[in-house]
């Protein structure tokens, strides 16, 4: 799949197993990331920082991310600090970025925005 998905398509999408698939091409990642402009690509990782008024709200967001990750069976790495959560998404089974990373990024953005 080399087409760029809209934010609506990402948020309604579902993660699929990636075994025996290739990571997204660099060009495709660069095109797709425009749909999620606050996210950044750092090598083979999608990354975003979220800011909160306090630590309790940051932890509540971590729990919301964990819920999305569980539903999609696609789990990010997170760094939690005082009023801040950094989320890293990559697809370990293929050693790079997949559409699953974008789907989860869009879904957790929706949780943050609500």
CATH topology (fold) of 7-113: Gyrase A; domain 2 (3.30.1360)
What are the residue ranges spanned by the domains of the chain? 7-113
Write down the pTM of the prediction: 0.95
Distance CA 4, CA 65 (A): 24
Q: What is the pLDDT of residues 54-72, one digit of tens each?
A: 999 999 999 999 999 999 9
Q: What is the pLDDT of residues 71-92, one digit of tens each?
A: 999 999 999 998 999 999 999 9
Q: What is the pLDDT of residues 2-50, one digit of tens each?
A: 799 999 999 999 999 999 999 999 999 999 999 999 999 999 999 999 9
Three-class SS state of 42: strand
């Amino acid at each position: 799949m080399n087409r760029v998905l809209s934010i609506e398509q990402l948020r309604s999408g579902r993660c699929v197993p990636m075994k025996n698939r290739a990571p997204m091409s660099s060009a495709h990642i660069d095109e797709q990331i425009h749909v999620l402009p606050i996210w950044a690509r750092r090598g083979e990782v999608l990354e975003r920082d979220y800011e909160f008024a306090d630590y309790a709200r940051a932890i509540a967001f971590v729990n919301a991310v964990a819920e999305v990750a569980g539903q999609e069976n696609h789990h990010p790495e997170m760094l939690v600090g005082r009023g801040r959560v950094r989320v890293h998404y990559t697809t370990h089974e293929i050693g790079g970025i997949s559409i699953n990373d974008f789907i989860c990024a869009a879904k957790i953005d929706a949780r943050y925005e609500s």
